[in-house]
Amino acid sequence: MEAQVASWDEERAERSVTVLKAVADPSRHRLLWALSERELPVGRLAELIEAHVAATSQHLAKLRAAGLVTSRREGTRIFYRIAGPQVRALLESAVLAADAAVAAEDVPAPEAGRVAAVEAKAAAVVRKRRAPARVAGVRRTATEH
């Protein structure tokens, strides 16, 4: 079920960026999570994100434009749902990527030793550059710099 992208495709990249921008807003992200579990009317979605119905409708319009949600009308009510299982997969992938980023910040012990060694070497280089210059065996004073 995994699709592979063989090469750079400008049009696909633009569509991908549009999707990522749509999901990047916290309110829209919460809407997608709610809709990934069940179809809901706009009024209930507005309650979930603690926003006005008009603001929620604008968020939903952006999600619809990005192809992430679909809607249906039942009388005067409009119900929304995610456009397909790939939307839930996108949300879950974002969670996994965020978890991986946090885990990468927790450097394992052997790596921490290498990092400390590199930092110590960098500090030695900085100290060496800041050290006063010696001319013919005579050390210059701070006022001579």
Assigned CATH topology for domain 10-90 = Arc Repressor Mutant, subunit A (1.10.10)
What pLDDT is attached to residue 102? Answer: 84
pLDDT (tens digit per residue) in 31-80: 999 999 999 999 999 999 999 999 999 999 999 999 999 999 999 999 99
Q: Which amino acid is at 43?
A: G
Q: What is the mean pLDDT of residues 24-37?
A: 95
Q: How far apart are CA 60 and CA 140, in angstroms?
A: 70
pLDDT (tens digit per residue) in 68-125: 999 999 999 999 999 999 999 999 999 998 888 888 877 555 555 665 665 666 555 4
Please check the confidence at residue 137 and state whether its pLDDT lies above 90: no
Which DSSP letter does residue 144 get? G
Could you state, in order of their start, the residue ranges of all structural domains in the chain? 10-90, 107-145
**Cβ-count burial of 49 within 10 angstroms (0-12 exposed, 13-18 middle, 19+ buried)?**
middle
pTM of the full predicted structure? 0.65
String of DSSP letters for 75-138:
TTEEEEEESSHHHHHHHHHHHHHHHHHHHHHS--HHHHHHHHHHHHHHHHHHHHHHSPPEETTE
What pLDDT is attached to residue 136? Answer: 47
Overall size of the chain counted in residues = 145
Q: Which of 62, 74, 81 is nearest to 24 (CA)?
A: 62
